[in-house]
Copies of this chain bind each other. A is one copy, B any other.
Amino acid sequence: MIEDKNQQRTQLSDLGEFGLIDHLTKNFKIKHSTTIKGIGDDAAVLDFKKQIVVTTDLLVEGVHFDLSYMPLKHLGYKSVIVNLSDVYAMNAKATQVTISIAVSNRFPIEALEAIYAGIETAAKIYNIDVIGGDTTSSNTGLLISVTAIGEVEADQVVYRNGAKPNDLLVVSGDLGAAYMGLQVLEREKEVFKVNPNNQPDLEPYTYIVERQLKPEARKDIIKLLSELEVKPTAMIDISDGLSSEIMHLCKQSKVGCDLYENKIPLDPQVISTCEEFNIDSTTVALNGGEDYELLFTITQQDFPKIKANPNLSVIGFIKEEKEGLHLITRADTKIPLKAQGWKNFND
């Protein structure tokens, strides 16, 4: 959390653009036969026999991350993960990424190296080729734009629009942890402002803080579904909170949904931290965001294949569109599902 301000600093202008890109990307090795040419020409060249999926996401300093508690290496890692999550949400295998970074002169080369170290780690763990990008200066903050590419057999693509009435709504992992991790980090930041010598004790929050700072994308779930021979009827990744994603999926599929509050998977650390912060854990799971879990629907015939799996929770039931979207509470009351939605422009 506390940076050493006296570390060695190399000015970005010392290397120039091309020296900089060479320097930052020299460790990247090509892993996929679909990558014909990676970094180093006007464009990368790829060769797929399958369909490909393409997705892009921007991370902006002060909006999507706060460098006072987000280590740069983690930021690089996360910038890749959030894009891979979208590739997996298409039921595709992620294969390549491009990385563009805008950075102000206040960052030394060592800062970019740290970001790239995180990118490299994600590329290694998720078996991704980094095939290109752009590094430029900005007058103010740091911004990372990633485009991810994946491959998938044409008959295996899963869109958001395929859910049918009577399908089951399933979610991977647990929800709300990334949001509660952020609350803890924000609180410690305030404490630090008042007393910079105070060393935060994050031990009771290890899981939720890690979910915020070092999220993972559910490559394992795509593999698992393939092994179980389950092709979801619709799928989306959970980046903006469960509620918002259910609404997207149902809107595009033209269906309704009953979501069962008592089925929403929560980690014990989320529950205890919610109690500590006096926040309702269901609200956090519904609206928290940044969980990067997969939300999908399956036919009831596929239920036996997934029911024993600890990574998957059936949380709801797809209905006719006219029946609307509802949360069935623990008290067995039925209330309309609402999304707080995306608040960045309101900040």
Chain A residues packing against B (C-beta within 8 Å): 11-13, 16-18, 20, 36-37, 40-48, 51-58, 60-64, 85-87, 89-90, 92, 96, 98, 100-102, 105, 131-134, 136-141, 143, 145, 147-150, 152, 154, 157, 159-161, 235-237, 248, 252, 341-342, 344-347
Do B139 and A98 touch (CB < 8 A)? no
Do A137 and B347 touch (CB < 8 A)? yes
Interchain nearest-CB distance for A171 vs B (Å): 15
- Which chain B residues lie closer than 8 Å to A159 at the CB level? 37, 41
Number of identical protomers: 2
Bound Cα distance A138, B58 (Å): 10
Do A102 and B43 touch (CB < 8 A)? no
- Which chain B residues lie closer than 8 Å to A61 at the CB level? 139
Q: Which 9 A-B pairs have the closest CB atoms?
A: A43-B55, A145-B145, A42-B89, A17-B342, A43-B53, A13-B345, A42-B86, A140-B140, A62-B139
Do A134 and B60 touch (CB < 8 A)? no
Interchain nearest-CB distance for A197 vs B (Å): 29
Do A52 and B58 touch (CB < 8 A)? no
**Contacting A45 at CB < 8 Å: which of B43, B52, B57?**
B52
Do A43 and B139 touch (CB < 8 A)? no
Query: A105-B345, A141-B138 given as contacts; is B87 within 8 A of A43 (CB)?
Result: yes
- Which chain B residues lie closer than 8 Å to A157 at the CB level? 36-37, 45
Do A139 and B41 touch (CB < 8 A)? no
- Which chain B residues lie closer than 8 Å to A17 at the CB level? 341-342, 344-345
* Identity of the chain B residue whose Cβ is nearest the Cβ of A347 in the assembled complex: B137
Do B60 and A136 touch (CB < 8 A)? yes
Interchain nearest-CB distance for A234 vs B (Å): 10
8 A-B residue pairs with CB within 8 Å: A17-B342, A43-B86, A43-B148, A54-B131, A55-B132, A58-B134, A136-B344, A139-B140
Bound Cα distance A87, B41 (Å): 10
Query: A57-B100, A58-B100, A134-B58 given as contacts; is B43 within 8 A of A90 (CB)?
Result: yes
Query: A42-B237, A143-B143, A160-B42 given as contacts; is B252 within 8 A of A63 (CB)?
Result: no
Bound Cα distance A98, B17 (Å): 24
Interchain nearest-CB distance for A238 vs B (Å): 11
Query: A58-B145, A236-B42 given as contacts; is B89 within 8 A of A16 (CB)?
Result: no
Bound Cα distance A235, B101 (Å): 26
